[in-house]
Structure formats: C-alpha cells, structure tokens
Amino acid sequence: MSATTRQSRNRAKTPHLRWFAVTLALLIGSCCAMPVMAATAKTTAIAAPAASVLELRIPASPTGGDLALPIRMLLLLTLLSLAPAILITMTAFTRIVVVLSMLRHAIGMQETPPNQVLVSLALFLSIFAMMPVLAHINDKALQPYTKGQLRLEQAVDIASGEMREFMVRQTREADLALMVELAHAQPPQRIEDISLAQLVPAFMLGELRSAFQIGFMIFLPFVMIDLVVSSVLMSLGMMMVPPVMISLPLKLLTFVLIDGWNLVARSLLGSFH
C-alpha cells in the first residue's frame, strides 16, 4: 500500500476521533459536576427551608368580629349573586310585576310600556313595600354585625326571622298546609318552626293568587270598553273595522283620566299587610 493511501485514511479517521474525544470529555465533566450540583442544591435547601413553603394566613378582624375582612367580602359577593333569586321568591316583587304585566295586556299594548320600564317600576315599588322589613333588618342585624356586636349566625337568624315574619303575614294557611302536607312534615306550632323550604313556595302561591285577583279587577273595565265598541261597530254595520282601532284610544284616554297608574300603585301597596 502506498504512503499516499495511508495518509488519506488517517485524515478520514481524524474527525471521528476528535468528535469521540469531545463527547467523552463532556460526559466525564457532567458526571463530575453532578455531585457538586447536588451538594449545592442541598446546601441551599438547608440554608433557606422557609422559601419552599407557601403559607396563607387570614388576618383577624380588627373590629373584634368573628370573620376577617376577606371572608366578609366573599360572603357579600355570594349574597349579591343570590340577590335576584331572593328578590323574586321572598319579596313583593312577584305580585307587583305580574299585576303590571296584566295591566299592559288589558290595555291592549303588547310592548308598551317596555319590559325594562315595568321591571324597574316593580323593583322600586317592591323596595317601597319592603321598607319596614328592610329597616328592621338594618337596625337589628346589619348594623350590630358590622360593629362587632353580633356574630354572623346571630345576624343571619335575625334577618331570616324578619323575612319569615313578612312572608307568613302574606301567606294563606291553605297554601302553607299544602306545602307541609306535600313535605310529609309535622304541622308547625310556631313561626320559628316553619321551614323556609315550605314557606317560600307557599308564599309564592299566595302572591300569584293575589296578583291574579288584582289583575281580574283591572281587566273588567277594559273588557267592558271592548264589548261596547264591538257592539256599536256591529250596529253601524262597520264589521270590517277592527274594534282595537277604536277601543285602544278609548282605553288609554279612560286610564289617563282616572289617573290609573296612581290607582294601581295604591292598590298594590295597600294589598300588603
């Protein structure tokens, strides 16, 4: 074999030997560095053990209450999320909004006043009707709790007692007896013995019954106007004229002349006792 051939083979093997030497050196270096890194990490963990522990501490209430401020804020947000359900099921809102909706249908206008107006009016009338109860809750439960004079359980019991008393006054005995019978429970002897699970549906049944009674009384005058207009049109032979075209302006004029909105608001607020 010639010297030229040997030199070319040695040159071809040289790069492979160089890569193998570099790889071997890196492996040896990493193996030597691993104990050093482990010792360094162990030393760091021993030197600062508290850095790896996460503690969550809720400060005590500065007012002397039973709950700290973050927990109070959480309870407040929870109460606000349940506010629509409480408004519909435990206040005067159901009766008022049903009566206002029936009034709109009795007049004959399906979209006037709009739903937003009716709901807003029903909301403020409900607040007006519930004002004595809300004042008692604020004086007996909310203010003492914020001042640290009552615990949370005591404040909730007082507030629920005021709402329970209001709902019992508006609930018929027949509706409450029906709910107790369906629940297969013993008849309550005192107001405190009535469960909210039985009182709330009985209260809503009574509210719907009262709303339909008031709505029926509101419907009668407008039905009479429709009958009179229809009879006059038929007697004149104007059977092709829709009675609504004549009766709707007459119903609006009559409702405005008798100051109907004030009468409806007075009747609704006077129906709560």
Residue 149 lies in a domain: yes
Whose tokens are 């003492």? That residue is 144
Between CA 116 and CA 86 the distance in angstroms is 19
pLDDT digit string (tens) for 91-132? 889 899 999 999 988 888 878 888 888 889 999 998 888 888
Between CA 243 and CA 247 the distance in angstroms is 6
For the chain, the domain total comes to 1
The confidence score (pLDDT) of residue 67 equals 54
Residue 225 lies in a domain: no
Between CA 164 and CA 37 the distance in angstroms is 69
pTM: 0.66
For the record, the structure tokens of 226 come out as 């429709």
How far, rounded to the nearest angstrom, does the alpha carbon of residue 121 sit from its chain's CA centroid?
Answer: 19
Residue 135 lies in a domain: yes
Closest by CA position to 125, among listed 108, 103, 107, 144: 103
Which residue numbers in the chain have pLDDT < 70? 1-72, 75-76, 79-82
CB–CB of 203/90 below 8 Å?
Answer: yes
Q: Provide the residue range defining the domain that includes 87.
A: 69-215
Residue 3 lies in a domain: no
The confidence score (pLDDT) of residue 169 equals 86
Q: Say if residue 132 is preceded by a cis peptide, omega within 30 of 0.
A: no
Residue 248 lies in a domain: no
The confidence score (pLDDT) of residue 166 equals 87
Residue 249 lies in a domain: no
Angle between helices 93-107 and 196-235 in degrees, nearest 10? 10
